[in-house]
């Protein structure tokens, strides 16, 4: 999976908030709806914790489908977060941007695709690899 576009966060004077319902949506059997709004939700405040260190990228490819990242999804990437074992990250690998899961163990590091059709990439001295940031959110559109 590769990154095909990069967007940076900008501050806007007007922000839209939408209601956040306090009830959960059943993903199995339907449950009675609670007619209760918990609070207003501002998607910018929810998704962008560090505006100066956040950028958006559009994913392309199928290597991360097992973690819910589809081709065309917009990824919210936070450069202020320290990459940890298991994080989904944006990495520049020999100059090419890619999204993979970071695996760290015993002085070794791998970029792991989350699709069995793709092979893990061990980060060695043979690769020029820079972690650009941690994927904090994925925005997936159904229409």
pLDDT digits (tens, 9 = 90+) for 119-142: 999 999 888 999 999 999 999 999
- Does some domain include residue 65? yes
- Does some domain include residue 76? yes
- Does some domain include residue 15? no
- Does some domain include residue 41? no
Print the domain residue range for 110: 50-139
What are 114-117's contacts with CB under 8 Å, separation 24+? Answer: 114/63, 114/64, 114/65, 114/66, 114/67, 114/69, 115/62, 115/63, 115/64, 115/65, 115/66, 117/62, 117/63
- Does some domain include residue 31? no
- Does some domain include residue 129? yes
pLDDT computed for residue 95 by the predictor:
87
Give the pTM.
0.80
pLDDT tens-place string over residues 33-79: 555 667 778 888 889 899 889 999 999 999 999 999 999 999 999 99
Residue 65, domain CATH: 2.10.109.10
User: Coil, helix or strand for 138?
Assistant: strand
- Does some domain include residue 73? yes
Read off φ and ψ for residue 52, nearest 5 degrees: -70, -20
Q: What domain count does the chain have? A: 1
- Does some domain include residue 3? no
Asked if 97 and 90 count as a contact pair (C-beta separation under 8 A), the reply is yes
Catalytic residues: 63, 100
């Amino acid at each position: 999976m590769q990154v095909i576009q990069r967007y940076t966060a900008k501050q806007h004077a007007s922000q839209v908030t939408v209601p956040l319902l306090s009830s959960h949506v059943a993903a199995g059997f339907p449950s009675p709806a609670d007619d209760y709004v918990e609070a207003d939700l501002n998607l910018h405040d929810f998704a962008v914790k560090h505006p100066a260190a956040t950028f958006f990228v559009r994913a392309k490819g199928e290597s991360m489908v097992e973690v819910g990242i589809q081709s065309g999804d917009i990824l919210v990437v936070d450069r202020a977060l320290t990459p940890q074992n298991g994080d989904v990250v944006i990495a520049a690998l020999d100059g090419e941007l890619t999204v993979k899961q970071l695996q760290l163990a015993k002085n070794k590091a791998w970029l792991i695709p989350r699709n069995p059709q793709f092979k893990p990439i061990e980060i060695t001295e043979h690769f020029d690899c820079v972690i650009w940031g941690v994927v904090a959110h994925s925005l997936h559109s159904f229409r």
